[in-house]
Structure 1
């Protein structure tokens, strides 16, 4: 069938909206009419080739839409189902079977290979095949074929056009807090970075019962916005030493901390801000080869723990409904992070995300 898609063609270049041909869904796939798709930092770094993903490709990995066709081997879905699309995973390796599909041993190939395991691609035009199945979905298209086991059915009670980011960015920040750090009620949490992932982590910390929530950034307007969403303290790390500030606020160090930036000096600050037996997590993407040295001789005595976290260590079919439930109860107002754009304005949405003027852009078809 013919459909429109935004195609990444070269680093640092605007996506091209093209009419493309979409092939038939395979027996393990669903064809989904995309209603809206979030834009994530990962889309930008793949467009710009931080990781060597073959171009041209249809990116997008925070899709939400309506099922239009169901593969012959797929159970549990029907035409008309409203869905959010999560990352792809094999479902068969030791990590998948242990309930940690975001650490699937085939995760890179299934999400960054931009083709099916058999080498076929779902999109094409007169120039030839176009990469598909980015994160199992390639949701910057009006219609796409997606891997069924990463798809989550959602209720009619929540507007479908705001749900896509629950499949990646919002899941990443909130999952790192709720699934990995697991702060205790009354505890202290510091979040480094006030983008959409960091704000989602902050909202999750508040929902978990943490009573001291410290947001760290260099943008005053974002820090002020964080206060309106539940931050109890803010630290401008351009003006003061964030480690000293956090230790003063907490009386010695924070119980839990999250780095959403992937910037080496910030990662070191996150680690050094932890109190005795504190737990820190990193979710921010960095270029391969990035190093962040810290003093293991001194830190050994702290008993701290540091986790590297992919997609919030989530099981999407279990975790996304939890987030929706929290949202419906008014305990996770992530919709306040969102700004919607027309599909035709997708490159403006990328630009606004890059300069920080929009926390979580969503393109609506």
Structure 2
């Protein structure tokens, strides 16, 4: 089957999305699903900072690769070993999970060993894209959503309530479960907690909603883009701080009376993480959610204070969620009006404009952009 797709052949080292046009729009051949594979017609995809990390060469993906890892669509065909889906089901694309490794058996499918080992392929080790020259194209995160059709293994295509619009459901494929899960699952905050969210992008604003769902009484959002503060307040934030205009640590201590119970670095920047730790109250927990652009980073932390005041640091990857359970749950919360996605969508663009979309996102002008194949 032919499908229009956004393909990365070479990274843009200088982040020149508009000059280099790194994502090439071309026709690819998508193989028919066999075995555990599911063919999904993508109705909507969405752009994430992780996509940008791939395009600028920070993630080491094999190339050529069909881009995109957030997507929602309709099952078009299934292989003969698929047991969880039927043609016509509405699905959100999650992540590879073998269900057999020690991590999956512990309920940590987000850390699945097969997922970590499958660079550029499906869980089975196969690829299903072929370029016009006959070469195989790789999958991104075992997903590849910036295409009209994609093939994934059945655990990646997660069935959701048909009442949620697919142009909203696509957001459930990464940023929403990462943000909500960091607060409500990984940190497991208590009602009445004080919470600070550093970074008001799609992940951060999802974290705000997670704090609301769990009954936090103080929800402080820190960012450098004032236009995002109105949305943060609509999502449930009680206070906003522009860290370009005032010291966020001092202001957080002032608002909370000494420090917050929980702080979340949704950005993944060393200085932001230092501020998250410095903003903690006694027995507080700092959660690192955003992925730094480099694997090794230097941070300055007062270790003596960490010990004497029993402060904690934890990491949260993909919200520490088991996605086949979490994504349908989050979709139901949207349908019930308890979780809002519509306000997070700041623009909708055709696939042909993917390079422009990446430029806009990296320059802070967007929260979440829906990409229509």
TM-score (norm 1): 0.95
Greater relative CO, 1 or 2 (CA 8 Å, sep 6+): 2
C-alpha deviation, 1:325, in angstroms: 2.3
Distance, in Å, in 1 between the alignment partners of 2:166 and 2:58 is 31
For 1:296, the equivalent position in structure 2 comes to 303
1:296-328 superposed Cα distances (whole Å, 9 cap, x missing partner): 122111212211111111111211122122222
Q: Equivalents in 1 of 2:322, 2:255: separation in Å?
A: 34
Matched, 1:230 2:232: no
| 1:118 shift after superposition | 5.9
Deviating above 6 A after TM superposition, structure 1's stretches of 4 or more consecutive aligned residues are none
Counterpart position of 2:16: none
2:91 aligned residue (65, 83, 95): 83
Counterpart among 350, 356, 360 of residue 364 in structure 2: 356
CA drift of 1:128 comes to 4.0
| Residue 70 (structure 1) aligned with residue 78 (structure 2) | yes
Number of residue-to-residue matches in the alignment:
363
Residue 42 of structure 2 contacts residue 72 of structure 2 at CA under 8 Å; is this kept in 1? yes
Q: Distance in 1 between matches of 2:250 and 2:122?
A: 49
The 1:253/1:311 distance shift into structure 2, 3 A limit, reads: same
| 1:246-297 deviation line (CA, Å, top 9, x unaligned) | 1111111101111011110100100111111112211111122223231212
Normalising by the residue count of structure 2, what TM-score does the alignment of the two structures yield? 0.93
User: What is the correspondence of 1:106-145 to structure 2 with a 5 Å cutoff?
Assistant: 106-110=114-118, 113-116=119-122, 119-145=125-151
Corresponding residue SS for 1:60: coil
Q: 2 CA distance for matches of 1:220 and 1:358?
A: 12
Counterparts in 2 of 1:119 and 1:146: CA distance versus 1, 3 Å: closer
Partner of 1:4: 4
Q: Is the 8 A contact 1:65 1:82 kept in 2?
A: yes
Match of 1:249 in 2: 255
Indicate the RMSD between aligned Cα atoms, in angstroms. Answer: 1.5
Aligned partner of residue 85 in structure 2, secondary structure: coil
Give the distance between the partners of 2:185 and 2:89, measured in 1 at CA.
27
Unaligned 5+ runs, structure 1: none
The CA deviation at 1:29 is: 1.1
CA contact (8 A) 2:84 2:154 kept: no
User: Which moved further from structure 2: 324-333 or 242-251?
Assistant: 324-333
State the distance in 2 between where 1:352 and 1:3 align.
Answer: 26
Measure the CA separation in 1 of the matches of 2:342 and 2:136.
Answer: 32
- Partner Cα separation in structure 1 for residue 123 and residue 75 of structure 2: 22
> Is the contact between residue 133 and residue 146 of structure 1 (CA under 8 Å) also seen in structure 2?
no
Where do 5+ consecutive residues of structure 2 fail to align? 13-19
Alpha-carbon distance in 1 for matches of 2:351, 2:259: 45
Q: 2:28 aligns with which of 11, 20, 32?
A: 20
